[in-house]
Amino acid sequence: MKKFFEEFKTFVTRGNVMDMAIGVIVGGAFGAITTSLVSNVITPLLAALFSSPNPDALNITLRAADEAAGTEAIVLGLGTFIGTIINFLVIALVLFSVIKAMNKAKEMAEKLAKKKEEEEAAAEAADPKPTTEELLGEILEVLKKQK
């Protein structure tokens, strides 16, 4: 049982699990932002395009509520559905942009690393380091001069 908890602790504290947890938290916060953008900005603009003062007016009532009969209204929530689609598209667009930027940054970092390696290789080729035999020969000469 103790081994199980040790393995679980290792799993949970592993970098990619922590990164995923942070991503879920940030994603939830971002979802709230996009939901607000869609419901408070985009959907009212769409409602204005359809000459409607209220985004819920895009919803279609199939059957009105009848209190006497005890039935609830049946509403086809087109406005809500359109808002959800727009919300998804905004999130997908931002995610696409972030991933594209991350890939571009990764490519640039790889190019810089490759350029640095090439410069180091060129510097080594231009200024070859002395071999072990050469270094030992120089040390031997210095020692002979000291005698």
Cα-Cα end-to-end distance for the chain: 72
The domains of the chain, with CATH numbers, are 2-146 (1.10.1200.120)
Angle at alpha carbon of residue 49, lines to 45 and 54, rounded to 5°? 60
The SS3 call for residue 53 is coil
Q: What is the pLDDT of residues 85-106, one digit of tens each?
A: 887 888 888 888 888 998 999 9
- pLDDT, one tens digit per residue, over 54-80 is 666 677 888 888 888 888 888 888 877
Task: State yes or no: pLDDT of 28 exceeds 70.
Answer: yes
- Quickly state the pLDDT bin for 112 (edges 50, 70, 90): very high
Residue 116 near residue 64, CB atoms below 8 Å = no
**pLDDT exceeds 80 at position 120:** yes
pLDDT given for residue 70 in this prediction: 81
For residues 27 and 16, give the distance between their C-alpha atoms in angstroms, rounded to a whole number.
16
pTM tops 0.95: no
Local structure of residue 77 (DSSP, 8 states) = -
Total residues found in the chain within this entry: 147
Q: What is the pLDDT of residue 105?
A: 92
Burial of 37 (0-12, 13-18, 19+ CB in 10 A): middle
Q: Which residues contact 130 (CB under 8 A, 6 or more apart)?
A: 138
- Region of 70 (left: φ > 0; alpha: ψ -120 to 50; beta: rest) is left
pLDDT exceeds 90 at position 144: no
Sign of the alpha-carbon torsion through 117, 121, 124, 127? negative
